[in-house]
Amino acid sequence: MDSSDRTKVAILGAGRGGRALLDLLHQIPSIEIVGIADRDPAAPGLQRAQELRVPVTTDVTTLIGTQGISLIMDVTGDPEMERYLRAHQPPDTDILSGSASRLLWELVQHESKLEAELLQAEKLAGIGSFAAGIAHDINNPLQLIMGLAENLAEERNLTAVHEQARDIIEAVKRTSAICRDLTRYSRRASPHEDMSVSLNGKLDEALKIARYASSFHDIEMVKRYQPGAAVKGNPDELLHVFVNLITNAVHAMEQVGGTLTLETHVLDGQVGIRISDTGSGIAPDKIPEIFEPFFTTKAPGKGTGLGLYNVKTIVNKMHGVIAVDSQIDTGTTFTLTFPKVESAEQGCLP
């Protein structure tokens, strides 16, 4: 999009409201945030703005004097500010303040709550399909424990008793690890602040979870990981993204088998992840629909169609981009690209 076509917006107030607004507007390509101002240099939204390379200032007058602003959003909650803006409103600029901006803040809150609910709904629906995989993976060590315990009942040789006890402990540890992985995955994404997440570790973790959801029978795995590849984000949400994409890829190869390739790379200040399969592919006319909520080609009861919608929501929230390249009967590649986080000094207004 040509930068001159974008709506230029200035945000006043970098408290919780300003920060949430910044995160939301930053995801909308048709909006350019020309800057955010707060009198308090320690306001949380200012730090967020620096991470997003949105200019920050403590000087409201300079910001609202910026050329070409179409909208000033005042989320300071300060009646003084409202009066000041009315008196200094630049021509051709709209102002959103007072109860209108409070309403907007409530809508933003509501939207992020709905997003979290959709994510959880899809995750819980998905866990239903894990049941067979979990039962299988727990049953194997249980059978082993049973056999060993039967032997132990008769065993007279102390060395053999110790050995079998060790095998039992290992089998129990494996079962507990399965339970731990799944409990961690099924809980709500914890609302912790964004942190640096190792992509290679998260992909491996996702692979373990995805194995419960789908059969990896006849599927060859290829990993091409660049060491140290990392992005900034919520680790639980990123895990969810990878589980979804891997599960979709494996489902697409379910009938015939194939190759699942997981790649990470760091290039020109960007971090990329590619998840490719050699499965059924997606028809060109369906590609625009796959990210829509509830679009699914799976049999009723098999998929919610929320997977890719949630993936896209999370990726956009992390300021990343998702692209898909697919050919019928050849396979599909999903590519995620995230910006590398620059130093906090950049993007400040003078």
Ligand X SMILES: Nc1ncnc2c1ncn2[C@@H]1O[C@H](COP(=O)(O)OP(=O)(O)OP(=O)(O)O)[C@@H](O)[C@H]1O
The residues binding ligand X (CB under 6 A) are: 122, 126, 244, 248-249, 252, 277, 279-282, 290, 295-298, 303-309, 332
Binding-site partner at residue 298 among Mg ion, ligand X, none, CB < 5 to 8 Å by type: ligand X
Beta carbon of residue 245, minimum distance to ligand X (angstroms, whole number): 7
Closest listed residue to residue 32, CA positions, set 59, 5, 13, 14: 5
Of 48 and 251, which CB lies nearer to ligand X in the complex structure? Answer: 251
Q: How far is the CB of 222 from Mg ion (least distance, A)?
A: 21
- Of the candidate residues 57, 101, 248, 278, the single one contacting Mg ion (CB under 5 A): 248
H-helix or E-strand containing 80? helix 79-87
* Contacts of range 279-282, beta carbons closer than 8 Å, 24 or more positions apart: 279/249, 279/251, 279/252, 279/253, 279/254, 279/331, 279/332, 280/252, 280/253, 280/255, 280/328, 280/329, 281/252, 281/326, 281/327, 281/328, 281/329, 281/330, 281/331, 281/332, 282/324, 282/326, 282/328, 282/332
| Cβ nearer to Mg ion, comparing 229 with 336 | 336
Q: At its nearest, how many Å lie between ligand X and the CB of residue 72?
A: 38
- State the minimum distance, in angstroms, from the CB of residue 88 to ligand X: 48
Instruction: Please report, to the nearest 10 degrees, the dihedral formed by the alpha carbons of residues 236, 214, 114, 273 taken in order.
Output: 50
Q: Which residues contact 89 (CB under 8 A, 6 or more apart)?
A: 72, 95
Among 307, 310, 332, 338, the residue binding Mg ion under the rule CB under 5 A is 307
Closest to Mg ion by CB, 234 vs 248, is 248
Shortest Cβ distance from residue 37 to Mg ion (Å)? 42
Q: Of Mg ion, ligand X, none, which one sits near residue 32, judging by CB under 5 to 8 A according to partner kind?
A: none
Contact flag: residue 13 with Mg ion (CB under 5 A): no
State the residues that interact with Mg ion by CB under 5 A. 248, 307
